[in-house]
Structure 1
Amino acid sequence: MNSTSKPLHIQLQSFLLARKNYYELLHLLFLVPTNDEFLLIIRNYGNLQELEEIHEGGRILRNFFDHLTDEQIQREYEEFHRLFVGPGPLVAPPWESYYRSREHLLFEEWTYQIREQYHHFGLQFKNENNEPDDHLLFELEFMVRLVDLCLQETRTEEIVALISSQIHFLEKHLTIWVPYFCKRIIEHTSSQLYLGAAMLLEDLLSFDLTTLLEVREALSSVRQEESERAIIK
């Protein structure tokens, strides 16, 4: 990053927008596949061609969406419920507490840690206390919200703080339990949609954390340079 050219928030814009797009794609992939219009949105706007070139999960998803049929949509709807909803024992429960609790219980301490994070940024789950706050979809939505806040911010110090919040959320939550969630999907589904989605989810979270750590370090160096210039003036 070149602190002497464009303002930092402008330099970061394309990076942040790309991250937002990927998190929105992951969110879409784990929503219930209710109709062909919904799945066509993913096919047409999900950057699948780009993902196909860089990731095996992307290749699997591109192949799935290129051969999508009405019959396939119905099968994926049934598979979604088998994996994540029920009835019956769930193959891959989509709640953090399930994987971090020794007894696989919900509404454990991690649920309330997540809730505190939401509240800190002015968010509240509408079904709080009735449904666990640590559902995969809510955690992905939260990451999109943090990226949006970064995009709206112009002050370097506040951008660094927001990036640190995202790093914390990835390190303390998503990258801890999501690999186990993805492993269960990969081992127990023949669905190309959910196989590709699980592979992509795990690797993108890991990659995002690594990238954010590098960006925070670079931004910290820029802040130091800005402070030194302010002292000289």
Structure 2
Amino acid sequence: MTATTDPLHIQLQPYLVERKNFYQLLHLLFSVPGNIDSLFEIKRDETFKELREFHDGGKILDRFFKHLNVEQIKREQQEFQRLFIGPGPLAAPPWESYYRSSEKLLFEEWTYQIRKVYHQFGLQYCKENNEPDDHLLLELEFMIYLSDLCLQETKDDRIEKLLATQISFLEEHLGIWIPYFCEKVIENTSSQLYLGAAMLLKYFLSFDLESLVEVREGLQLCLKIIH
């Protein structure tokens, strides 16, 4: 924490906002190109402009978006279907259970672990019991939701608990299976969009976990001093 008279939750605001923006960007990258406007929205995103300096995946994405056109978007739509939707065998299934089950099955124990965590926060997947709750986009949405709660919270001890929840979620879920998912994408695509997105996702989650642990430890120290 910096030496300032601002309350701790105010000091944390810039960091929390930046984290949320990155998660939203990653969510968009793996949601598109179903909606053509979304790709152009990413191109205009201020967070995206920072990626050129952030990681090699960001540089690849920067080159992709510089040459973005309607024909390219159509090709990415086809690649999106092939990688994540089907029909047919998927090149990179986007569900946690697939990577953690020895038989590559869905609706395994991890699906229900994830569901339990969602329920603890009053959340429920609208397609619960019909589609797995441990889809990549749902897990990223949960991190965005927790980031929002942190930004709305003014009590430092509550923020500390929310940070702890995000650390646990990364350690017990996203941080375990996402590296394997990203390797699948990297090995099975020539798309600069999904190559860059997978590289960035893998790196950012590792970076985010380290920074969350550091920030939480700093917050805990400040709370001890205050009390």
TM range (shorter): over 0.9
Q: TM-score, normalised by structure 2?
A: 0.98
Moved more, 149-158 or 29-38: 29-38
Moved more, 122-131 or 1-10: 1-10
Moved more, 42-51 or 72-81: 42-51
| Deviation (angstroms), 1:3 | 6.7
- Structure 2: tracts of 5 or more residues without a match: none
CA spacing shift, 1:150–1:91, aligned 2, 3 Å: same
Q: Distance in 1 between matches of 2:3 and 2:160?
A: 14
Q: Which residue of 1 aligns with 2:20?
A: 20
Kindly indicate whether residue 116 of structure 2 is the aligned counterpart of residue 111 of structure 1.
Answer: no
Q: Which residue of 2 aligns with 1:128?
A: 128
Moved more, 27-36 or 162-171: 27-36
8 Å CA contact 1:167–1:212 kept in 2: the answer is yes
8 Å CA contact 2:32–2:38 kept in 1: the answer is no
Point out the structure with max Rg over C-alpha: 1
Q: Which residue of 2 aligns with 1:210?
A: 210
Could you tell me which amino acid in structure 2 is paired with residue 5 of structure 1?
T
Paired residues, what number?
Answer: 227
Aligned ranges 1:1-233 → 2 under 5 Å = 1-2=1-2, 5-45=5-45, 47-227=47-227
Q: Distance in 2 between matches of 1:213 and 1:109?
A: 27
Identity of aligned residues (%): 63
Which runs of at least 4 in structure 1 moved beyond 2 Å after TM superposition? 46-49
Q: Distance in 2 between matches of 1:118 and 1:3?
A: 36
Moved more, 43-52 or 146-155: 43-52
8 Å CA contact 2:61–2:197 kept in 1: the answer is yes
Q: TM-score, normalised by structure 1?
A: 0.95
Moved more, 37-46 or 136-145: 37-46
CA offsets, 1:56-105, max 9 Å, x none? 10000011011011111010000001000111100000000000000000
8 Å CA contact 2:32–2:39 kept in 1: the answer is no
Could you tell me which amino acid in structure 1 is paired with residue 108 of structure 2?
E
8 Å CA contact 2:186–2:195 kept in 1: the answer is yes
8 Å CA contact 1:25–1:46 kept in 2: the answer is no
| Deviation (angstroms), 1:54 | 2.1
Could you tell me which amino acid in structure 2 is paired with residue 140 of structure 1?
L
| Deviation (angstroms), 1:9 | 0.6
8 Å CA contact 1:3–1:222 kept in 2: the answer is no
CA RMSD of aligned residues (A): 1.0
Q: Distance in 2 between matches of 1:3 and 1:158?
A: 22
| Deviation (angstroms), 1:49 | 2.3
